[in-house]
């Protein structure tokens, strides 16, 4: 079977040289027709041996509303629709993404090691809740020190309120956010400011409402299940069409929307025992696109299997993904900060495991996992630091709490500064979650806007059941309620108030030092040493590059603790100190130290020293 096209999208409605081609994959239908609603016209389709129905016509113009008629009976929107202006149940709209005049010809994607991610949800990031609203904040993000914005999924979902993981039209951009044109404008504006754009996509499941895929073909399989329902069909009968569908989707974002990187949601739930795993095939075709366009694109996985096969290069038998999230760093960091070890946190021993995360990336790399009741993980010895994304907050770790509390509601001000520093001095790619840089106090709750009452009630019940093993108290907020969504909006005015203003300055200072200091900017995991004191709850992280050394001293305890500076450097000069009064602290550490000095680390604090002279 012919693979997905590198040069252009082939599924749905496409335009070329004054005419349109309609293409629908529906291998088990006996008849398929294209309905043009404004013209009240019906165009018959012809089927090839692979199950693709096609017609070419000059009657179809951009903006045309259309549907497919299946077996002469049911009318359904296009599974490969680029626009659903009236939502997932109504006709599709034909679009030509190539008609957008880009102004980013001089843009070159950043090296992956220079990515500093800022994850945001379009609907709650600004009062407008649109792509246009985000554009108004790009200069702020640039000044903050961010180099890449990461959009939570924007695929069309029912209603106007959703995290995005219930999308049912992977090719269509959410209408209430600004649609396809709005996304192109945002990407263009980001590139004008030197910002990369990462898009979160979901290839492991589909949302429940408006999901008509099974009426077109065997998009799902009964062989496997996921936590969200039936698995997509990547290795069962007729799987070739499904694989092509999602590969064309990925290529479209890179080619037609100029997206710089895709974050692939929960790839451990992509079930595929084919000789060539779907992710490996995806990477191969992205590589072909890079050769065609001359632009680099990145694939970043969310995966919790601690299996380097996902990020090992193709030539070594891996899937070739460029990077992955590592939740284990987050879990170890949170337990170090005082998080109760319940649920999946039960596997983590705090400061000891945080030290291991700095050193080895994976905390579990072959040991027995009490939470999983099995030996778990493999060693990640050869993988560079740029292949791991770390964070102290993200949409899951905040929103999966029953009340959606951010760090600002869980930890004292001093601990929040320490958490930020612990992420930004790591030898990995750092990610911020929107609003954390000014200690946003509003929660980030789970919200939906399903139109099916039974489904909405099922989501409510599922949300309550989700917290049983966390022993949470009280009632989970109603995901369907508009107030739940409104409570999750950022409060930009907090930046003008204390202590939020100080927190924002602290984040800017941390980001500046990360970019400025070669020992922090270079993500060499071999030029790193880490030690910890379990009793005192302190940790020393030492990183170096070409003679420049950075020492980060962290105290996670509630009392001042002694910390002796290493003897392998003669002099140490302070760069940053979270306990300094200028950052709202109580007592600053010495500005200069010599080898072997012992300083007093203030409670819940972080001090950063640098040295260039040899002992």
Render pLDDT for 524-541 as a digit per residue (tens, 0 to 9): 999 999 999 999 999 999
Render pLDDT for 22-46 as a digit per residue (tens, 0 to 9): 999 999 999 999 999 999 999 999 9
330 labeled binding residue: yes
pLDDT at 343: 85
pLDDT at 27: 97
Distances (CA, A) of 228 to 216, 235, 277, 324, 487: 21, 19, 21, 21, 26
pLDDT at 615: 41
Residue corresponding to tokens 């001089």: 106
397 labeled binding residue: yes
pLDDT at 476: 83
Among the listed residues 235, 265, 347, 577, the single catalytic one is: 265
Structure tokens at 545: 């590059």
399 labeled binding residue: yes
Neighbours of 139 (CB within 10 A): 11
- Three-state DSSP string of 462-491: HHHHHCHHHCCCCCCCCCCCHHHHHHCCCC
96 labeled binding residue: no
Structure tokens at 379: 């060693």
CB 519 within 8 A of CB 548: yes
Phi and psi for 157 in degrees, rounded to 5?
Answer: -130, 170
Per-residue burial over 346-375, b if 16 or more Cβ lie within 10 Å, else e, is: ebbebbbbbbbbbebbbbbbeeebeeeeee
Query: How many helices (H) and strands (E) would you count in the chain?
Result: 16, 31
- Ordered structural domains, the chain, with CATH: 12-97 (2.60.40.10), 112-203+247-508 (3.20.20.80), 523-611 (2.60.40.1180)
Degrees, nearest 5: CA angle 453-80-70: 75
pLDDT at 122: 98
**DSSP one-letter code for 497:** S
pLDDT at 474: 73
475 labeled binding residue: no
Is 260 designated active site?
no
Report mean pLDDT in 10-residue bins for the chain, 615 residues.
75 94 97 95 96 96 97 97 96 95 95 98 98 98 98 96 95 98 98 98 94 96 88 96 98 98 96 97 98 96 96 97 97 95 90 98 96 96 97 94 94 98 98 98 94 78 66 76 96 98 98 97 96 97 94 97 87 96 96 92 97 64
Euclidean distance between CA atoms 405 and 398, whole angstroms: 6
DSSP string computed for 138-168: HHHHHHHT--EEEEPP-EE-SSS---STT-S
Among the listed residues 33, 235, 281, 302, the single catalytic one is: 302
Euclidean distance between CA atoms 325 and 180, whole angstroms: 27
Residue corresponding to tokens 């409104």: 486
Cα atoms in the 13 Å half-sphere on the side-chain side of 262: 27
Structure tokens at 237: 């009968």
- H-helix segments, 48-192: 122-125, 131-135, 138-144, 179-192
Is 75 designated active site?
no
Structure tokens at 310: 């996902």
395 labeled binding residue: yes
- As a whole number of Å, the end-to-end CA separation of the chain is 65
């Amino acid at each position: 079977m012919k693979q997905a096209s590198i040069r252009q999208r082939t599924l749905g409605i496409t335009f070329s040289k004054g005419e349109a081609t309609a293409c629908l994959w529906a291998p088990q239908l006996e008849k398929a027709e294209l309905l043009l609603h404004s013209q009240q016209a019906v165009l018959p389709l012809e089927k090839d041996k692979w199950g693709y129905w096609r017609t070419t016509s000059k009657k179809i113009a951009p903006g045309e509303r259309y549907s497919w008629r299946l077996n002469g009976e049911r009318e359904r929107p296009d599974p490969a629709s680029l626009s659903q202006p009236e939502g997932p149940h109504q006709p599709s709209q034909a679009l030509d993404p190539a008609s957008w005049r880009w102004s980013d010809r001089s843009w070159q994607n950043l090296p992956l090691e220079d990515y500093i991610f800022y994850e945001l949800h379009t609907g709650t990031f600004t009062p407008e809740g649109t792509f246009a609203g985000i554009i108004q904040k790009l200069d702020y993000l640039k000044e903050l020190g961010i180099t890449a914005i990461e959009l939570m999924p924007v695929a069309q979902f029912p209603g106007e309120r959703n995290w995005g993981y219930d999308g049912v039209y992977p090719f269509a951009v959410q209408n209430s956010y600004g649609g396809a044109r709005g996304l192109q404008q945002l990407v263009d504006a980001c590139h004008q400011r030197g910002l990369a754009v990462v898009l979160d996509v979901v290839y492991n499941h589909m949302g429940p409402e408006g999901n008509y895929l099974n009426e077109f073909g065997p998009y799902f399989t009964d062989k496997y299940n996921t936590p969200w329902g039936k698995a997509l069909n990547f290795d069962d009968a007729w799987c070739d069409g499904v694989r092509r569908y999602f590969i064309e989707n990925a290529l479209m974002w890179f080619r037609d929307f100029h997206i710089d990187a895709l974050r692939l949601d929960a790839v451990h739930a992509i079930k595929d025992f084919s000789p060539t795993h779907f992710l490996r095939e995806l990477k191969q075709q992205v590589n072909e696109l890079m050769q065609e366009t001359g632009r680099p694109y990145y694939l970043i996985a969310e995966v919790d299997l601690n299996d380097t096969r996902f990020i090992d290069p193709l030539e070594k038998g891996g899937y070739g993904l460029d990077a992955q999230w590592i939740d284990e760093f987050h879990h170890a960091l949170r337990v170090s900060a005082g998080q109760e070890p319940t649920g999946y946190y039960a596997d983590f021993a705090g400061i000891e495991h945080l030290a291991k995360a700095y050193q080895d990336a994976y905390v579990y790399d072959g040991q027995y996992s009490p939470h999983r009741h099995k030996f778990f993980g493999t060693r990640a010895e050869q993988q560079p630091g740029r292949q791991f994304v770390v964070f102290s907050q993200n949409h899951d770790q905040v929103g999966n709490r029953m009340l959606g509390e951010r760090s600002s509601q869980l930890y004292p001000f001093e601990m929040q500064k320490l958490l930020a520093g612990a992420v930004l001095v790591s030898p990995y790619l750092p990610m911020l979650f929107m609003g954390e840089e000014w200690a946003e106090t509003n929660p980030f709750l789970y919200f939906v806007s399903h139109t099916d009452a039974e489904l909405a009630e099922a989501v409510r019940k599922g949300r309550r059941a989700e917290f049983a093993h966390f022993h949470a108290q009280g009632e989970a907020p109603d995901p369907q309620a508009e107030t739940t969504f409104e409570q999750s909006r950022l409060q930009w005015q907090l930046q003008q108030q204390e202590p939020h203003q100080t927190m924002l300055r602290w984040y800017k200072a941390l980001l500046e030092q990360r970019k400025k200091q070669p020992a922090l900017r270079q993500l060499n995991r071999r030029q790193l040493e880490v030690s910890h004191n379990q009793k005192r709850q302190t940790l020393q992280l030492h990183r170096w590059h070409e003679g420049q050394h950075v020492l980060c001293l962290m105290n996670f305890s509630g009392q001042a603790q002694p910390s002796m500076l290493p003897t392998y450097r003669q002099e140490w000069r302070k760069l940053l100190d979270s306990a300094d009064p200028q950052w709202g602290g109580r007592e600053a550490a010495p500005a200069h130290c010599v080898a072997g000095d012992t300083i007093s680390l203030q409670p819940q604090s972080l001090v950063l020293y640098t040295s260039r002279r040899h002992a």
